Chain A
Amino acid sequence: MSVAFWLIAALTVAGALAAVLLKNLVHCALAVTAAFLGLALMFLELDAQFAGFAQILVYIGAVAILVVFAILLTRGSETPEKEIGVFSRTWLAGLIVAAAVFAVLGWAVLQSAAGLPHEAAVPAVSVQQIGQALMGQYVLPLEIVALLLTAATIGAVIVAMHEKGDAQ
C-alpha cells in the first residue's frame, strides 16, 4: 500500500463523493470524470498499461462526453427554483441496499484473495498477449460484444429517427 495508492484512492473517492453530493449536475459529471481518471491511474499503478490508457480513452474521452451531452440535451442543468436537498426522502432504504451490496462484494474479494497462489513477481502483460488472447481464447465474447454494440447503434438511430417522424 504505497503512497501513490493512497493518493489515487483519495482522488477517486473524492471524485465519486463529489459526483453524488454536488448540486449542479454538470459539476457532478465533471467530478465523475475525475473519478474515472483515478481509476485509470489505479490501473497504471498496477502496471496494466493497456487497461489504464484504454480507460482514459474510452471513459474520459467518450463516456464522460456522452454523459455531459445527455445532461445538456435533457435540460437537467438548469438550477431548480426551490432548493431541494441532494438527499432523497428514501435515504435509509438506499443506505441499507448500498451497505448490503458492499458487504457482498467485500466478502467475495476477500475470499478470492485468500485462494490466489503466491506469485513471486507480477507477470508483465504486453499488448501483444492481450491481442492474442482476444483473438484466440476470447474470440467468442469479442464477437458477441461487437453484435451488442451494433444493436445499440441501430437502436439509437431508430429512436432518433422516430422522434423526427413524430414531429412531422
Chain B
Amino acid sequence: MSEKADQIFILLKDWLVSFLPAGWQHVAGVLLCVVMIVAVYPGLFALAVLLERKGLGRMQNRLGPNRVGPFGLFQPIADGIKSLTKEDIVPLRADKVVHFLAPVMLVVAVFMGFAVLPMGRNMVLVDLDASLLFFFAMGASTEISIFMAGWSSRNKYSLLGAMRAVAQMISYEVPLLLSSVAIVMMTGSLSLVKIVEAQNQYTWGLPHWYVFTPWGFAGFVIFVIASMAETNRSPFDLPEGESELVAGYFTEYSGFKFALFFLGEYVGMFGISGLGVTLFLGGWSSPLAVLNVVPSWMWFFSKVMVWICFFIWVRGTLPRLRQDQLMNFAWKFVLPLTLLNLVVAAVWRFMGEGWLRWVVCSAVLIVVYAGAGLSEMRRKKFGPRSYRYAE
C-alpha cells in the first residue's frame, strides 16, 4: 500500500499515457511531467508568498494580510489578478527588446533547474550523468537576466542594483559550488539520483544524511549562506532593498513582468532549496527507517518547505548586510572555510571507519571557525553590546 502511495504519480502518468499509441507514449509522458512541474511550483510559490507575508507580519508584531478570505488565504489570488491587470509601463528610452527578454530568460533558466531534481523515488525528469553541473549551469544563467533587466531600464538605480546583484551572485557562487564539491567527492558521482541513493541507508535507525557528518554540517551551513546570497534573500538583499535602491534592478518593471520577476525569484529559491535538500538532507529519504511508510515525495516537499520557512525566519530576524560587508564576508571568511571543508572531507575519507575521524574532523572545523571568527572580530574591535536608552 505504501509502495503504491510512494509511486502514485508514476503510476498515474503511466495510466494516462497508456491511452495513446505506442509511438507517442514517451513524448507524452515527458510532456506530462513538465506540465506537472510547471503547475506545482507556481502553486507552491503562491503558498510561499502567503507564508512569507503572514510570517514576517507575525515576527514584526503585526498581522499579515487578513482581509481576503479566512486568515488571508486568498491573498495570492488577489495578487495575481492585480499583477495581470496592471498597466505595463516601459520607459521611453528603455531598450525594448532586452527589457522584454530579461524576465523571460530568468523564468526559463530557473524552471530548467527542476529537470534534474529527484523529487521522489524514480521521480526525476531527466537522469543525467552530470546533473549537478547542469543545475549550476542553469543557476549561473540567471545572472545574465538580472544584468539585462538592470541595464535595459536606462535608470541609474536599476543599473546600480544590477551591478551589485551580479557582483554578489558571482562572489557567492564559488562557496556554493565548492561546498557541493565535497559531497561529490564523498559520493563519487555528479548525478543527483546517485547522491540521494547514497544517503538512503540507515545505521541503528538513523539515516546516512550528509548533514550528520562534520564536513557535511559545515558544508550545509556554507550552502545555506551562499544560497541566501544567490537568490538575493535577506540579509543579502541590498540589490533589491526597498529603502536602498527603490527596487533595484526591477524598478522599471510593472504589472505582469514584475510578477514574472517575483515568480522567478521565489521559484529560484525553491530550486536551490531542492538542491540543498538533495545534497545535504537526504533528498526524498525519510529521517528514520520506520517512517518509510510516508511517501518519498512527501518527505522531499516537506524538507523544501522547512527550508523556505527558515529563509523567511532569517529574513524577519537579521538586518541587511552592506555591500562591502557582504563581499568581505564572502571572500575573506566563507571561501577559506569552504576550502578547509574540502580538505577535511578528504581527511575523513582517507582516515577509515571509526570514531577517531569524527573527533579529528569536528575538532579541526570548530577550532578554525572559532579562531577565524574571533580574530576577525578582534580586528574590528567589537566589544560587548552597550545600550543607550532615551532619558
Could you list which residues of chain A lie within 8 angstroms of chain B, going by C-beta atoms?
24, 26-27, 30, 33, 49-50, 53-54, 56-57, 60-62, 64-65, 68-69, 72, 77, 126-128
Q: How far is the CA of A68 from the CA of B143 in the complex (A)?
A: 11
Chain A residues near B139 (CB-CB < 8 A):
61
A and B contact pairs by CB, cutoff 8 A, 30 listed: A24-B95, A26-B151, A27-B95, A27-B98, A30-B144, A49-B128, A49-B130, A53-B137, A54-B133, A56-B137, A56-B140, A56-B141, A57-B133, A57-B137, A61-B143, A61-B173, A62-B140, A62-B170, A64-B144, A65-B143, A65-B147, A65-B170, A68-B151, A69-B163, A72-B159, A126-B129, A127-B130, A127-B190, A128-B188, A128-B189
Chain A residues near B144 (CB-CB < 8 A):
30, 33, 60-61, 64-65, 68
Which one, B130, B140, B189, contacts A50 given CB within 8 A?
B130
Known: A65-B170, A72-B163. A49 touches B129 (CB 8 A): yes
Within the complex, the shortest CB–CB distance from A15 to chain B, in Å, comes to 14
Q: How far is the CA of A38 from the CA of B172 in the complex (A)?
A: 27
Chain B 74-100: CB-based contact to A (< 8 A → 1; otherwise 0): 000000000000000000000100100
10 tightest A-B CB contacts, nearest first: A61-B140, A56-B137, A57-B137, A53-B133, A53-B137, A49-B130, A53-B134, A127-B130, A57-B140, A127-B190
Q: Would you call the interface of chain A mostly helix, strand, loop, or mixed?
A: helix
In the complex, besides A27-B95, A61-B140, 7 extra interface pairs with C-beta distance below 8 angstroms are A24-B95, A30-B148, A49-B129, A60-B137, A61-B144, A62-B140, A65-B170
Q: How far is the CA of A68 from the CA of B159 in the complex (A)?
A: 12
Taking a contact as CB atoms under 8 Å apart, the answer to whether B137 and A61 are in contact is yes
Chain B 142-166: CB-based contact to A (< 8 A → 1; otherwise 0): 0110011001000000010001001
- Closest A residue to B166 by CB, please name it: A65
Q: How far is the CA of A64 from the CA of B129 in the complex (A)?
A: 26
Chain B 182-200: CB-based contact to A (< 8 A → 1; otherwise 0): 0000001110000000000
Which one, B129, B147, B170, contacts A127 given CB within 8 A?
B129
Could you list which residues of chain B lie within 8 angstroms of chain A, going by C-beta atoms?
95, 98, 128-130, 133-134, 136-141, 143-144, 147-148, 151, 159, 163, 166, 170, 173, 188-190
Q: How far is the CA of A53 from the CA of B113 in the complex (A)?
A: 12
Q: How far is the CA of A33 from the CA of B109 in the complex (A)?
A: 14
Q: Would you call the interface of chain B mostly helix, strand, loop, or mixed?
A: helix
Taking a contact as CB atoms under 8 Å apart, the answer to whether A57 and B98 are in contact is no
Taking a contact as CB atoms under 8 Å apart, the answer to whether B98 and A53 are in contact is no
Q: How far is the CA of A128 from the CA of B137 in the complex (A)?
A: 19
Q: How far is the CA of A24 from the CA of B170 in the complex (A)?
A: 25
Q: How far is the CA of A50 from the CA of B138 in the complex (A)?
A: 14
Q: How far is the CA of A50 from the CA of B130 in the complex (A)?
A: 6
Chain A residues near B166 (CB-CB < 8 A):
65, 69
- Closest A residue to B134 by CB, please name it: A53
Q: How far is the CA of A49 from the CA of B190 in the complex (A)?
A: 12
| Residue of B144, B163, B189 most packed against chain A (CB within 10 A) | B144
Chain B residues near A56 (CB-CB < 8 A):
137-138, 140-141
Q: How far is the CA of A44 from the CA of B148 in the complex (A)?
A: 26
- Closest A residue to B177 by CB, please name it: A57
Chain A residues near B136 (CB-CB < 8 A):
57
Within the complex, the shortest CB–CB distance from A42 to chain B, in Å, comes to 15
Within the complex, the shortest CB–CB distance from A111 to chain B, in Å, comes to 32
Chain B residues near A26 (CB-CB < 8 A):
98, 151
Taking a contact as CB atoms under 8 Å apart, the answer to whether B147 and A68 are in contact is yes
Q: How far is the CA of A119 from the CA of B249 in the complex (A)?
A: 52
Q: How far is the CA of A61 from the CA of B94 in the complex (A)?
A: 24
Chain A residues near B163 (CB-CB < 8 A):
69, 72
Q: How far is the CA of A125 from the CA of B328 in the complex (A)?
A: 40
Within the complex, the shortest CB–CB distance from B209 to chain A, in Å, comes to 23
Taking a contact as CB atoms under 8 Å apart, the answer to whether A60 and B140 are in contact is yes
Q: How far is the CA of A128 from the CA of B187 in the complex (A)?
A: 12
Known: A27-B98, A60-B144, A61-B137. A53 touches B151 (CB 8 A): no
